[in-house]
Amino acid sequence: MNRIWWWLVDVLSRALDPDERAAVLGDFSESHEPAPQALRNLLGLVVRRQAVLWKNWRPWLALVGVVGILGPKLLHISGTLLFPVYMDLRTYRQHGVLYGTGLNTHEEAAVLLCQGLALLVWSWTGGFVLGSLSRRTIWVSGSLYFLFGLLPLLLLLRSLILFPRQFLGLIYRRQGSILLLLTLLTVLAATLLLVPAISGVRHGLRRLALSVPQAGALATATLALIAAATWTGGWPHAAVIRWSGGTWDPSAGWQDRLLTFAIVSWPAGYLLATAIFRRDKTAAHKRSA
């Protein structure tokens, strides 16, 4: 048990600066302080240090803009992208035929490709901004952000723990559609959300901003993906209208899709604005010198 306490002390101490972390752990080692007491003292120190860091606007922008806005919307978009795949698998398993979306194979592939690439870029860009804005508060904002990506897996594990008999019964009766959906959501979230987001956070922690050419290229690619995702996102709705002879129109309109995609693309605009500001500031200093 004592080993677990000291492991918690070591993990929590990583929220401190390297020099301060080494000094604190050295003091604990020399004083032979009990592990629970050392953990309480360290927790108080970390809270005080974090309170100072959160007086800056950057961690709050990361918390609200990336964790609060970007995370839930990206998870929703990933679920919308997965739904036709889930319906295909469930319908084929139950009836031996594919679920009819009204799109041909090439159109379905184009929709998945455009939406998937957009999710990859949005996830990486959001992770980069999260890392560059959070810096020493990344252990708070990063944990909350990745919690959204792991939400399907957490729901699956919770259901398996709380309702094991019900889930075993679904599998036995070959009616595990909920289990299948949660599994697919987990795989999709890990592939399209977590992996690029982790890569973006790592790059963002190493550098605060991109150069103007890099940010400009990222913004251009983001605009192109917004246009492609907005355009192809309306294909399933248009297919339903054709199939129903115009009597059923579930489409929310391209304006709503465009607004959603523009909201999740704000990190690309932020990076471009930051790069331009840093370039102009550097040029002004050179002229004054």
* End residue of a domain, out of 51, 69, 92: 51
For 202-214, the pLDDT digits (tens) are: 999 887 778 899 9
For 250-274, the pLDDT digits (tens) are: 555 678 888 889 999 999 999 999 9
Give CA–CA dist 45/147, Å, rounded. 25
Tokens 């998937």, residue located: 116
Give CA–CA dist 35/4, Å, rounded. 9
Residue 178, CB half-sphere, CA atoms under 13 Å: how many? 13
161 shares its domain with 256: yes
105 shares its domain with 31: no
39 shares its domain with 123: no
108 shares its domain with 239: yes
Give CA–CA dist 100/112, Å, rounded. 16
Give CA–CA dist 70/223, Å, rounded. 17
The SS3 call for residue 99 is: coil
159 shares its domain with 30: no
**Dihedral-angle region of residue 246 (phi above 0 means left; psi in -120 to 50 means alpha; beta otherwise):** left
177 shares its domain with 239: yes
**Percent of the residues in the chain that have a pLDDT greater than 70, as a whole number:** 73
65 shares its domain with 38: no
Pick 228 or 139 by higher pLDDT.
228
Identify the pLDDT of residue 216: 94
* End residue of a domain, out of 14, 36, 51: 51
For 100-111, the pLDDT digits (tens) are: 666 777 877 888
As a whole number, mean pLDDT of residues 76-89 equals: 72
217 shares its domain with 147: yes
Q: How many CB atoms lie within 10 A of CB 165?
A: 7
Q: 235 pLDDT band (50/70/90 cuts)?
A: confident
Give CA angle at 66 (146, 222), nearest 5°: 105
Pick 286 or 133 by higher pLDDT.
133
Closest by CA position to 112, among listed 218, 200, 193, 192: 192
Identify the pLDDT of residue 98: 58
Tokens 């909920």, residue located: 178
Q: 154 pLDDT band (50/70/90 cuts)?
A: low
Pick 215 or 233 by higher pLDDT.
215
Q: 227 pLDDT band (50/70/90 cuts)?
A: very high
Give CA–CA dist 35/41, Å, rounded. 10
Q: How many CB atoms lie within 10 A of CB 60?
A: 14
Q: Are 77 and 129 in contact (CB under 8 A)?
A: no
The yes-or-no verdict on residue 117 having pLDDT over 80 is yes
129 shares its domain with 250: yes
21 shares its domain with 81: no
Lowest mean pLDDT of 15-24, 46-55, 270-279, name the range: 15-24
Mean pLDDT, the chain, rounded, equals 79
**Percent of the residues in the chain that have a pLDDT greater than 90, as a whole number:** 24
Number of folded domains in the chain?
2
Identify the pLDDT of residue 253: 67
Q: 166 pLDDT band (50/70/90 cuts)?
A: low
Which domain covers residue 242, as residue numbers? Answer: 56-288
Q: 147 pLDDT band (50/70/90 cuts)?
A: confident
CA 128 to chain centre: 11
163 shares its domain with 211: yes
28 shares its domain with 150: no
Identify the pLDDT of residue 104: 72
The SS3 call for residue 1 is: coil
For 168-196, the pLDDT digits (tens) are: 555 555 555 556 665 666 677 677 888 89
Give CA–CA dist 286/21, Å, rounded. 38
